[in-house]
Amino acid sequence: MHPFRYNRAQTVEDALQSFGKEPNAAFLAGGTSQLDLMKEDVLRPGALIDIKRVPLSAIMATKDGGLRLGANASNTAVAYHEQVQKRYVGLAEAILAGASPQIRNMASTGGNLLQRTRCPYYRDTTQACNKREPGTGCAALEGINRVHAVFGANEKCIATHPSDMCVALAALNAVVQVQKPKGGTRSIPFADFHRLPGDEPQRDTVLEPGELITSVDLPAFTGRSHYLKVRERASYAYALVSVAIALEMDGDTIKAARIALGSVAHKPWMATDAAKELVGKKPDAALFRAAAEKAFEDAKPLQHNAYKIPLGKNTLVRALMETSGLMPLQGTAGTAFASSAGGVAGDDIEG
């Protein structure tokens, strides 16, 4: 591991100041992804500013009826929070379908947004990777690109964003609150927070150096939300494809819909046009199938990941069926059992 200076911040100001003083600094919260990548020599910060003591872990109601998730709130705290379990079920389902209890206890809300891709070429320092070392090329293009993007990729980078939580946050129209290093704040709509690779695949988000996430705010939401994840193991694995749905109903008619797709792009992918097709209509299998076709209309498969297109469509149809109540959830809402397509560990053995 590259040597670094360790600094502990007690306040937001403290953290921003320390960051400004240290060359090549990085904030450290849960560290579950960061430390792992530092051990692999993929990340080589000159200094870490530990923000775990900065009082940003509260989860509280906002004035407009929403819920503020403090940047330091652990993934566990968010998933089991009474208001999340009650009003943002899809978010709880997404978080609990990800990682393991140990990691969810450590991982922070802000850090979850900033985790890096699980593209194996990014983690392998012997391989070309524009995200790790801009200008070196992309080894995944001609490599094994089974888990890579079908939307928004280019010849510079075909990586996907690994988070489950972020897919749900995108569907729930969350807003990222950011403290700027020289004072002032800004609010970034979730769908704009992560970026496509473009000419700078090394940049996963629109955050500027030294900007600190202070919270992720969920707007008031009275509809139904749901997350459905498909993976290769029954548990503790990254998604091949995932879907987050937020539906608002007016009687038996869909009033508003948001669809976010996970593990198909460099960011949570909003299927905006597909969602529009649902508005004003009654939930129906044929309608959902048409929306799924629409959602994947522009998908571009690579050599090894064409399976993601039919898998994604089917997952989307099923997620819509389950969210609208046309199909029962596989498990209790708000748990990993509802969001794990294909069941969970040991389901084929017993109870």
Partner 1 sequence: MNPQKDAPANHHAPLATEMPNVGSTAPNFILDESSDAGETLHDLRGKPVIMVFSATDWNPAHAEQMAHLYNALVATTPDGDKLTGIRRKENEYALGFDAEEVTIPVLHDLDRNGSAAERFGVLGRKAVFVLDAEGVVRWSHVSSEGESPRVADIVAALQPAPVATAASNTAANGWQTNRRDFIVAALAGAIALAVLPGAPAEAQNPPAKPAVPSGATLPVQLNVNGKTHKLNLDSRVTLLDALRENIGLTGSKKGCDHGQCGACTVHIDGESRLSCLSLAAQQEGTKIVTIEGLAKGDDLHPVQQAFLDYDGYQCGYCTPGQIMSAVTLIREGHVKSDREIREGMSGNLCRCAAYPHILAAVKAARDSGKRV
Q: Which residues bind partner 1 (CB under 8 A)?
A: 1-6, 8, 23-24, 28, 31-32, 35-36, 39, 41, 44, 46-48, 50, 52, 76, 99-103, 105-106, 234-236, 336-337, 344-347, 350-351
Cβ proximity to partner 1, 101 vs 219, nearer residue: 101
Minimal distance, residue 235 CB to partner 1, in Å: 4
Cβ proximity to partner 1, 133 vs 337, nearer residue: 337
Minimal distance, residue 236 CB to partner 1, in Å: 4
Comparing CA positions, the residue from 4, 57, 1, 59 lying closest to residue 27 is 4
Cβ proximity to partner 1, 24 vs 253, nearer residue: 24
Cβ proximity to partner 1, 197 vs 334, nearer residue: 334
Cβ proximity to partner 1, 50 vs 248, nearer residue: 50
Minimal distance, residue 95 CB to partner 1, in Å: 13
Place of tokens 């539906």: 247
Between CA 192 and CA 110 the distance in angstroms is 15
- 14: its two tokens: 């403290």
Q: Is-contact 126 261, C-beta < 8 A?
A: no
Q: Measure Cα distances from 319 to 2, 78, 218, 243 in Å.
A: 44, 22, 21, 7
Please provide the distance, in angstroms rounded to a whole number, between the alpha carbons at the two ends of the chain: 44
Place of tokens 């109540």: 325
Cβ proximity to partner 1, 125 vs 185, nearer residue: 125
Cβ proximity to partner 1, 65 vs 101, nearer residue: 101
Q: Which residue type, as a one-letter code, is found at position 52?
A: K
Minimal distance, residue 238 CB to partner 1, in Å: 12
Comparing CA positions, the residue from 94, 100, 78, 168 lying closest to residue 341 is 94
Minimal distance, residue 51 CB to partner 1, in Å: 10
Minimal distance, residue 21 CB to partner 1, in Å: 12
Cβ proximity to partner 1, 37 vs 196, nearer residue: 37
Helices 308-324 and 285-295: crossing angle in degrees, nearest 10, is 140
Cβ proximity to partner 1, 23 vs 184, nearer residue: 23
- DSSP-derived secondary structure for 274-320: HHHHHTTS---HHHHHHHHHHHTTT----SS-TTHHHHHHHHHHHHH
Minimal distance, residue 2 CB to partner 1, in Å: 5
Sheet (strand 59-61) strand order: 59-61, 67-70, 212-218, 175-179, 185-189
247: left (phi over 0), alpha (psi -120 to 50) or beta: beta
Q: Is-contact 164 92, C-beta < 8 A?
A: no
Q: Is-contact 189 173, C-beta < 8 A?
A: yes
Minimal distance, residue 194 CB to partner 1, in Å: 23
Minimal distance, residue 150 CB to partner 1, in Å: 27
- In this structure, the number of other CB atoms found within 10 A of the CB of residue 235 comes to 15
